Structure 1
Amino acid sequence: MRTIKGPAIFLAQFAGDEAPFNTLESMADWAAGLGYKGLQVPSGDARLFDLEKAAESQTYCDEVTGMLADKGLCITELSTHLQGQLVAVHPAYDVQFDGFAAPHVRGNPKARQAWAVEQMKLAAKASRRLGLTAQASFSGALAWPYFYAWPQRPAGLVEDAFDELARRWKPILDVFDENGVDIGFELHPGEDLHDGATFEMFLDRVGNHPRANILYDPSHFVLQQLDYLAFLDIYHSRVKCFHVKDAEFRPNGRVGVYGGYQNWADRPGRFRSLGDGQVDFGQIFSKLAQYDFAGWAVLEWECALKHPEQGAAEGAPFIERHIIRVTDRAFDDFAGSGSDRMLNAHLMGIGE
């Protein structure tokens, strides 16, 4: 067993145009001051990180890691959530997702997808140069508009959508394999990979690719009413990244899982700051320790009520309290009588 690394923080929800949230160095100072030891860095935010430069320049990567090391920090993973989303976009979302892409490919879905694929490949190379072994991403979606089958889905629609999704991702996964980096797909409503069943459908189509893995975020499972602890029992060998994010689900007589088009504060299912929701993090950290999770515990702050800076300040000590320093011996070793084959035979009544 290994002790989980942390606490770390995902910078995407905090980045902005005002100091200290507008450069990686100033955000690193802020995060270190709160007690964080790692940063999950959004690779598509030019204010923080130059992805193309990182893919080509070992010097740039060494400068970044050296600057962070001087502050007692490291990069846990790069995030390619926005680029991964654009690998597969249903036309219904073209306008909304155009903002995720570089200006020169907006309004051109084919060019946007090609750009996203290239971005993913650059991120694989950058991760290798940074000495990282995993990356956090989204799968994108072609079937999501049809998740609730009314009108009835045409036969084979979902299967064809997953065939196409796998066709697009297989070459990307191969580049990640060449660079020794896993993709942790965040299983998330809105993505075709949003639960265990859909992950299995994808995994089957990419030939159980060793680089197709999972970013585990229990908050999304609370909102889907999926057993997030049993999920770890089933899929722990594929869990390579971990977002520590809380949530609650409180259905009422008016609204349930689908949220009634209400804003986040009024939905029965809503994300909360750590400790304010219903997620049993004690059990989660125990299972991850039991299953020898080798990665980082990374705060992703999303809350309908609490200010982000308060959530960030409370997050580091919360994670620190939950990290289990794994034992190097059994609790009953003091009562052991050593190893003796003759004694064992005698105890079983088979000795001479």
Structure 2
Amino acid sequence: MTDSLKTSDGLRGPGIFLAQFIADQAPFDNLANIAQWAASLGYKAIQLPTLDARFIDLQRAAESQAYCDELKAVCAEAGVEISELSTHLQGQLVAVHPAFDELFDDFAPAHLRGKPAERTAWAIDQLKLAARASQRLGLTAHATFSGALVWPFVYPWPQRPAGLVELGFAELAKRWLPILDCFEQAGVDLCYEIHPGEDLHDGASFERFLEAVNHHPRAAILYDPSHLLLQQMDYLGFIDRYHPRIRMFHVKDAEFRPDACSGVYGGYQDWVQRPGRFRSLGDGQIDFKSIFSKLTQYGYDGWAVLEWECCLKDARQGAAEGVAFIERHMIEKTRKAFDDFAGVSADAASNRRLLGLPEA
């Protein structure tokens, strides 16, 4: 394992999510090259998408310990480790409303396009492979999306018929429960990124899903404050409420500047014109000092992983700046109280005297 900044309770970093950087040109064209690039910037870990065999063959990783050892060796030689695997796109395909069939077909292999049922079965199998691959790689958490059956009805007009949402979440749970059981067998937390466009897009929808899957111990949260800010949620209070289920962390910035033209829904505008925009770290409005403080307070045991998504700044600049930003916010949790120097000796008898109580 490479050296990384690590708090006493387990907060590690910096890591980087590779989905937005993978390309056909070096150094973004294979695992060895991109690992060396990440390490050269100062990253200690890479979060690895699983749809591109140039970086990981998911089925082979699920079946072969020797292959997983090779992947780890490639990363170690470069100077990084794998923090988590990601099946965001496969998870999206576990549940797709027919309105989005054609748009999401591009996430699936070509021979499954236009075949929703077969595509769903393939996606579920991909998640099960990811559980076993994560176990072989020695990982403890995995990133994904929930998919969406109810999302087209998120705004309550026309009025939703009684039972529609409940049925949608019951079906979502039916598809995910066997996957969650696989992750339980593998000893890996399945972390849903709370994200608009997914049925799990805020705390209320996550709670509804959690109830539908019987509070499954492996149903966890990938915390990304940018998606909460753009929904105008209390992203700090979210940590207070859901910290027992937060097992992954994307360090991603955003800003929300409503005006007389548009607001949360964005008016069908592109990202530059929208009031809510993702930004590179430090360029937005997210209070990361408070986020890192709360995660440290609650003993978050996982990686702080940069996800670059910015409509203005180039990806390479954002990645280069992200290392120092995350390092600057890491907290080494104190091992003693600040006023220990003034501590006084105590025992049961003296405590009773101080309270004016008779001897026991």
Indicate the SS of the match to 2:86: strand
- Asked if 1:345 is matched to 2:343, the reply is no
| CA drift at 1:351 | 4.2
- Within the candidate set 279, 290, 294, 1:287 is matched to 294
Within 1, Cα distance between the matches of 2:53 and 2:108? 12
Q: Which runs of 5+ in 2 are unaligned?
A: 1-7
- Within the candidate set 21, 24, 32, 1:25 is matched to 32
Within 2, Cα distance between the matches of 1:80 and 1:211? 16
1:10-89 matched pairs, under 5 angstroms: 10-89=17-96
What amino acid is aligned across from residue 287 of structure 2 in structure 1? D
1:321-332 matched pairs, under 5 angstroms: 321-332=328-339
Indicate the SS of the match to 1:241: strand
Whether contact under 8 Å (1:3, 1:324) holds in the other structure is no
- Within the candidate set 168, 172, 185, 1:165 is matched to 172
1:122-141 matched pairs, under 5 angstroms: 122-141=129-148
Q: Which runs of 5+ in 1 are unaligned?
A: none
Within 2, Cα distance between the matches of 1:103 and 1:346? 79
Question: Percent of aligned pairs with the same residue?
Answer: 65
Whether contact under 8 Å (2:92, 2:145) holds in the other structure is yes
What TM-score do the two structures reach when normalised by structure 2? 0.96
Tell me which residue corresponds to 2:308: 301
- 1:189-227 Cα shifts (integer Å, max 9, x gaps): 000000000000000010000010100000000100000
Whether contact under 8 Å (1:342, 1:351) holds in the other structure is no
Whether contact under 8 Å (1:9, 1:299) holds in the other structure is yes
The 1:252–1:105 alpha-carbon spacing in structure 2 relative to 1, beyond 3 Å, is same
Tell me which residue corresponds to 1:267: 274
Aligned residues: 352
Within 2, Cα distance between the matches of 1:3 and 1:290? 11
Within 2, Cα distance between the matches of 1:185 and 1:295? 15
| CA drift at 1:347 | 1.1
What TM-score do the two structures reach when normalised by structure 1? 0.99
Tell me which residue corresponds to 1:187: 194
Within 2, Cα distance between the matches of 1:329 and 1:71? 37
- 1:210-249 Cα shifts (integer Å, max 9, x gaps): 0101000000001000000000000000000000000000
What amino acid is aligned across from residue 320 of structure 2 in structure 1? A
- Within the candidate set 308, 320, 328, 2:327 is matched to 320
Within 1, Cα distance between the matches of 2:101 and 2:335? 52
1:208-223 matched pairs, under 5 angstroms: 208-223=215-230
Indicate the SS of the match to 1:54: helix
Within 2, Cα distance between the matches of 1:119 and 1:260? 35
Q: Alignment RMSD, CA only?
A: 0.9
The 1:284–1:293 alpha-carbon spacing in structure 2 relative to 1, beyond 3 Å, is same
Point out the more displaced range, 179-188 or 338-347: 338-347
Within 2, Cα distance between the matches of 1:97 and 1:196? 25
- 1:121-152 Cα shifts (integer Å, max 9, x gaps): 00000000000010000000000011111111
- 1:299-323 Cα shifts (integer Å, max 9, x gaps): 0000010000000000011000001
